[in-house]
């Protein structure tokens, strides 16, 4: 196509502008200046190429080239979302309003450029980055709910944020100091949360910041500049396309006036690029003018690189500390720039205190001391939030539906961290106090013997926090109806402790999970060891009495997480069943063995007047519930999102009171996700082999070429997947609807994999093997009335070591299964203690295994098949592995508290082992390195003897996240 003559003046103009830019910024400028005029773009590129050396930026596609949508999409469906109206274009694509047909909520859908559909590399990059961005959950960050496809084009499903942008607000002129500081304080909160997760915005500007009608700031488009960048362009993830105003319809672009110097040069950027843009936004709020003005993109970039802001334009009333903060944010050399946005937040907090509370513009206020330790939200901020809803009215059963909801975070007290155990927090019935499990966040597990977490009680209306004595090792707290006692589980026993003081009292043995306490003095709990299920006991103690009947053990594995209704007779619980279609929330009574199925949701239930609450994925749902009739009515509504949950076990991380308060801990919807990451023996990370996912039990093949891992795509169904290390992506190898799981074991020739599954007989886990390629139907190796997991082959492949469990988890012994002949299993170590995880030495003459016969899990070594065992670990030990020369045993020393969590703080240990005849002689254990990873105990780790590398599942999320408090959530359900 030839350019018409009347377009030549425009060609000359665009060519002159592009020529004046640095080479690595020209493609981005052409994406804006030429829009959809491909003929114009080609002519300009041709002119530039005539004076540009080969291999220039023009030989690679523009990073953020966009096209205007050929048609509007009103009325179309994108996945479960019905598009209702067009909102606008620009920024990062076309944006539409849509209705979520599944959850009944309004969302925003951002349709990305069609260029994505024909660029597999970009699609893959976008998918990786979008997954990471979707993990962001913060009150000042516009949430990403998911990704869908429409005609091959990615569509981001976003939180619909109502209200004007900051650019709209600036159109009316400068913003008063107090209001400006309140706005940037919230922006700093958002950036701090994202930077803590390694996410950089890269395109922070007023048009990407909204202010909701109730004054809450929401930062939009976090990290999308990187998500949509093309891998084909060198480091383009750090430098979005350039535009002057960011308003050109249909063009995906960044914004020149807010780009840092390193970003403008196309260099690698980090969080200090956001700090620069933050300074630009703050300057513009105070002055009403751009920090680096200009008519064209090149004018802006020249000003950024060569000139300082007009400091005289700042209002004379601008405090000296804010002027100093602006100068530090806008240092052109990134090394001299403010190093962390938390410093800016602290400076703003100080000024807010001096000027009358600018930082109180939102109730979502947290603070951190200057030495980096989390502190509680200030008493003033919490009191302000509570007064806003009328704290006195909270003694009523139900708040006024006209009262607006308020959200704020509740950081752990100084030096403590909330333990990431599901159900490790509980709200009192009156909504005034929180019971939680916390650990010493200032200590690491250098000797793998850090004291476990303990129970604390905290008032929502003050900073008062009290540790309850004698509660070390506590989990699953729950309140007495009058708020005088907190019940909990410790050492496998059900206990209670008075909040006012005194020693804990043991009520029952062999207990687990969250319990419930009625106003009539009855406690419901889940008992272990015997036939599992729900039992009742007086709150003074006594003999437990069975309450519920199982629907055919072992098909129904138990009932869990009871919650009493106000009458004290009826209660809710979740039924655990091998048949997933029978997993549901039920209603039952102390007076009857019958039950009523309420809803097919496998989630810990909770109750508030008129509502059944449960989790679906990472969302807390409130479902209208007729308490008298005992039935659900209407539709469930989302009241909180981004809540930590465990879809596999039905556990959740939220608690609700009777008067409209909700507390929860943020986190991934499946709990325990992470990346498969290599480490050397010094603990240095060597890279990842798979993206973030729900992985368990990684095992490296003996030839070092493959990894087999248990993987769940949806957080519920477990299958075996294999990763070819040369190709670098997972391939599914089992496809049965029942779970295939537990540590898979490679044959010595790397040709077969042995795994566990209940696919043949529900409720009993048997052993299977299949070719490593996974094409054949798995062969049943060993079926018995006990659950079995394989742990290791002999070097010649003739013997398979197996853990055989009583009641699928009570006690275990070590057995040997011959792989030839009659294949008749025989016991190797069978005692009243737990023994498991046995692995052969490379010679086949020794085995290393784990036992709790000393009262603590330790690693032992003994000759095979019989001989005297010797403890080789110190402190505690799990998951033994041998080095290739057979001279050293590696093992993990896991904090016993963290074995109850998805994230374990682990010391990886080594101990040399020699023999004299049949006598085992251990050396002194030494620590190689420490690393937080997903899965303690048997989840363990993989070790590749050929390369001396460790393979761990490393979590993305932090273990110590603050508790979020949502007051008066029922007002979210009121119909206006």
Query: CA-CA distance, 826 to 831, in Å (whole number)?
Result: 14
CB 230, CB 252: distance < 8 Å: no
Tokens of 570: 């009826």
Report how far residue 815's alpha carbon sits from residue 802's, in angstroms, rounded to the nearest whole number.
Answer: 5
203 is catalytic: yes
589-603: buried (b, 16+ CB within 10 Å) or exposed (e) per residue? bbeeeebeebbebbb
Contact 967, 663 (CB under 8 A): no
Distance CA 146, CA 679 (A): 31
DSSP 414-457: TTEEE---TT-EEE-TTSSEEEEEEEETT---TTS-----EEEE
Start-end of H helices in 147-216: 166-170, 177-196
Q: Is the dihedral of CA 259, 260, 262, 268 positive or negative?
A: negative
Q: What are phi and psi of 836, to 5 degrees?
A: -165, -175
| Nearest residue to 837 via CA among 873, 881, 896, 893 | 881
Q: Six-digit token pair at 549?
A: 């009947």
CA distance 301 to 467: 56
Instruction: Select which of 100, 119, 189, 203 is catalytic.
Output: 203
Residues 6 or more apart in contact with residue 59 via CB below 8 angstroms: none
Name the token pair of 795: 């070097």
Listed residue (791, 784, 900, 883) closest to 836, CA to CA: 791
Sign of CA dihedral 931, 936, 937, 942: negative
For residue 574, the tally of other CB atoms under 10 A from its CB is: 26
C-alpha span between 459 and 435 (Å, rounded): 9
Q: How many CB atoms lie within 10 A of CB 568?
A: 15
| Angle at CA of residue 609, ends 605 and 611, nearest 5° | 45
Q: How far apart are CA 412 and CA 432, in angstroms?
A: 16
Nearest to 206 by CA among 193, 221, 195, 194: 221
Q: List the catalytic residues.
A: 203
């Amino acid at each position: 196509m030839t350019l018409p003559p009347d377009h030549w003046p425009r060609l000359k103009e665009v060519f002159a502008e592009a020529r004046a830019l640095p080479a690595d910024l020209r493609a981005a400028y052409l994406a804006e200046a030429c829009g959809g005029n491909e003929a114009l773009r080609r002519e300009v590129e041709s002119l530039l190429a005539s004076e540009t050396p080969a291999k220039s930026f023009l030989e690679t596609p523009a990073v953020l080239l966009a096209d205007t949508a050929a048609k509007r999409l009103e009325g179309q469906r994108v996945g479960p979302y019905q598009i209702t109206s067009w909102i606008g274009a620009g920024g990062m694509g076309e944006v539409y309003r849509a209705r979520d047909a599944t959850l009944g909520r309004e969302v925003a859908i951002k349709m990305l450029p069609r260029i994505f559909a024909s660029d597999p590399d970009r699609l893959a990059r976008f998918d990786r980055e979008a997954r990471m961005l979707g993990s962001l959950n913060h009150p000042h960050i516009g949430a990403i709910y998911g990704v869908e496809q429409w005609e091959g084009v990615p569509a981001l499903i976003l939180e619909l944020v109502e209200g004007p942008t900051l650019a709209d607000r600036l159109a009316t002129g400068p913003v008063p100091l107090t209001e400006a500081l309140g706005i940037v304080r919230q922006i700093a909160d958002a950036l701090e949360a994202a930077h803590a997760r390694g996410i950089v915005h890269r395109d922070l500007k007023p048009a990407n910041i909204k202010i909701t009608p109730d004054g809450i700031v929401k930062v939009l488009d976090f990290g999308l500049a990187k998500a949509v960048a093309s891998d084909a362009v060198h480091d383009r993830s750090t430098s979005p396309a350039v535009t002057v105003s960011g308003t050109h319809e249909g063009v995906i672009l960044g914004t020149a006036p807010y780009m840092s110097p390193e970003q403008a040069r196309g260099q690698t950027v980090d969080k200090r690029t956001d700090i620069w843009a933050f300074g630009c936004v703050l300057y513009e709020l105070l002055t009403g003018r751009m920090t680096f003005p200009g008519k064209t993109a090149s004018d802006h970039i020249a000003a950024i690189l060569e000139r300082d802001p007009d400091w005289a334009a700042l209002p004379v009333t601008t405090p000296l500390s804010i002027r100093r903060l602006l100068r530090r944010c806008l240092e052109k050399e990134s090394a001299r720039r403010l190093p962390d946005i938390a410093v800016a937040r602290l400076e703003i907090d100080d000024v807010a205190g001096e000027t009358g509370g600018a930082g109180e513009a939102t109730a979502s206020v947290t603070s951190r001391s200057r030495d980096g330790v989390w502190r509680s939200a200030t008493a003033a901020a919490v009191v302000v939030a509570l007064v806003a809803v009328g704290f006195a009215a909270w003694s009523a059963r139900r708040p006024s539906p006209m009262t607006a909801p308020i959200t704020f975070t509740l950081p752990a007290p100084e030096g403590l961290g909330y333990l990431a155990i599901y159900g490790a927090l509980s709200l009192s019935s009156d909504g005034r106090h929180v019971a939680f499990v916390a650990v010493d966040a200032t200590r690491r597990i250098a000797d793998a013997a850090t004291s476990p977490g303990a129970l604390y009680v905290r008032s929502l209306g003050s900073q008062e926090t009290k540790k309850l004595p004698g509660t070390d090792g506590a989990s699953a707290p729950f309140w007495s109806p009058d708020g005088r006692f907190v019940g909990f589980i410790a050492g496998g026993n059900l206990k209670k402790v008075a909040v006012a003081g005194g020693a804990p009292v043991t009520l029952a043995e062999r207990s687990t999970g969250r319990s419930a306490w009625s106003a009539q003095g009855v406690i419901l709990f889940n008992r272990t060891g015997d036939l599992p299920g729900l039992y009742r006991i007086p709150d003074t103690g006594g003999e437990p009495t069975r309450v519920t009947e199982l629907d055919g053990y072992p098909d129904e594995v138990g009932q869990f997480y009871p919650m009493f209704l106000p009458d004290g007779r009826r209660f809710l619980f979740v039924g655990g069943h091998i048949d997933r279609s029978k997993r549901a929330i039920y209603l039952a009574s102390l007076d009857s063995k019958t039950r009523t199925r309420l809803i097919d949701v496998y989630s810990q239930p909770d109750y508030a007047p008129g509502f059944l609450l449960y989790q679906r994925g990472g969302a807390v749902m409130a479902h209208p519930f007729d308490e008298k009739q005992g039935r659900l009515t209407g539709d469930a509504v989302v009241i909180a999102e981004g809540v930590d949950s465990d879809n596999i076990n039905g556990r959740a991380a939220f608690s609700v009171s009777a008067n409209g308060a909700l507390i929860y801990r943020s986190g991934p919807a499946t709990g325990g996700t992470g990346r498969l990451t290599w480490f050397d023996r010094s603990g240095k990370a060597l890279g990842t082999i798979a993206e973030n996912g729900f992985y368990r039990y990684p095992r490296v093949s003996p030839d070092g070429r493959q990894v087999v891992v248990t993987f769940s795509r949806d957080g519920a169904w477990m299958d075996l997947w294999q990763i070819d290390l040369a190709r670098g992506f997972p391939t599914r190898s089992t496809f049965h609807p029942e779970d295939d799981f537990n540590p898979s074991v490679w044959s010595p020739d790397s040709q077969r994999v042995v795994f566990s599954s209940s696919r043949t007989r529900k409720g009993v886990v048997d052993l299977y093997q299949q070719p490593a390629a996974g094409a054949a139907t798995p062969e049943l190796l060993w079926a018995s009335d006990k659950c079995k997991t394989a742990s290791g082959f002999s070097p010649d492949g003739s013997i398979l070591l197996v853990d055989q469990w009583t009641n699928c988890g009570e006690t275990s012994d070590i057995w040997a299964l011959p792989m030839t002949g009659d294949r008749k299993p025989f016991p190797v170590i069978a005692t009243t203690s737990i023994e498991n995880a046995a692995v052969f030495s490379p010679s086949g003459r020794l085995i290393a295994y784990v036992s709790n016969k000393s009262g603590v899990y330790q690693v032992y070594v003994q000759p095979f098949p019989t001989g005297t065992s010797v403890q080789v670990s110190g402190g505690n030990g799990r998951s033994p592995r041998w080095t290739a020369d057979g001279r050293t045993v590696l093992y993990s020393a896991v904090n016993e508290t963290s074995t109850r969590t998805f994230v374990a703080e682990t010391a990886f240990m080594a101990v040399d082992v020699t023999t004299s005849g049949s006598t085992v002689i251990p050396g002194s254990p030494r620590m190689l390195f420490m690393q937080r990873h997903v899965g303690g105990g048997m989840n363990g780790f993989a070790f590749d003897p050929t390369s001396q590398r460790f393979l761990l599942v490393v979590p993305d999320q932090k273990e110590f996240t603050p508790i979020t408090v949502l007051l008066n959530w029922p007002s979210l359900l009121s119909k206006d």
